[in-house]
């Protein structure tokens, strides 16, 4: 079973847009940073655009930019924009009703899964894309792409 990486890639893309400080970045630049195909990035950017997190600029010198400030984009905003499936899901096939466990496991697990996802979203609300970028800058310094200055703030600790 492969893990879903859409959320992690979305954080990477938004972090790149905030960290680089360039007015716009192309899907090719973003894909090179993620080390994936630009088509994958464009599909992801479409979801982020629908959520109002990024906007595109057409034409020569065009590309993608943050639609809101990095401080105003929580990791929960990104999670909700990207993840259209529940965090935990039962198998596609229904278990056997003839089995006591099979007949009741979903009813027992669903409330736990809902609580776990709510706790995750609550934690993600506490961290912004800007917080993530500050953590990166504290580790490596200002972005070498255009020497954009990142304000060094105290480490978040929880991000490490």
Distance CA 53, CA 39 (A): 19
pLDDT for res 159? 41
Residue carrying the six token digits 């003839």? 98
pLDDT for res 91? 82
**pLDDT averages per 10-residue partition of the chain, 160 residues:** 81 93 88 93 96 93 93 96 84 86 91 93 96 90 48 36
Q: Is the dihedral of CA 73, 129, 26, 31 positive or negative?
A: negative
CB-CB contact of 146 with 21 (8 Å)? yes
CA dist list (Å): 13 to 82, 102, 122: 12, 41, 22
pLDDT for res 3? 63
Which of 73, 75, 88, 77 lies closest to 4 in space, CA to CA? 88
Which of 114, 50, 110 lies closest to 82 in space, CA to CA? 50
The model carries a pTM of 0.80
pLDDT for res 94? 85
pLDDT for res 142? 65
pLDDT for res 124? 96
pLDDT for res 92? 81
Residue 129: CB atoms within 10 A of its CB come to 26
Tokens coding 73? 């984009």
pLDDT for res 154? 36
């Amino acid at each position: 079973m492969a893990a879903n990486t859409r959320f992690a890639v979305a954080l990477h893309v938004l972090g790149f847009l905030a960290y680089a400080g360039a007015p716009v970045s192309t899907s090719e630049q973003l894909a090179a940073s993620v080390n994936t195909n630009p088509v994958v990035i464009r599909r992801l950017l479409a979801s982020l655009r629908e959520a109002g997190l990024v906007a595109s600029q057409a034409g020569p010198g065009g590309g993608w930019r943050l639609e809101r400030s990095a401080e105003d984009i929580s990791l929960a905003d990104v999670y909700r924009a990207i993840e259209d499936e529940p965090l935990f899901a039962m198998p596609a096939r229904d278990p056997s009703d003839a089995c006591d466990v099979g007949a009741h496991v979903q009813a027992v697990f669903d409330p736990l899964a809902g609580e776990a996802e709510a706790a995750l979203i609550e934690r993600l609300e506490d961290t912004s894309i800007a917080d993530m970028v500050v953590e990166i800058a504290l580790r490596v310094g200002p972005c070498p792409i255009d020497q954009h200055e990142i304000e060094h703030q105290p480490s978040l600790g929880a991000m490490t």
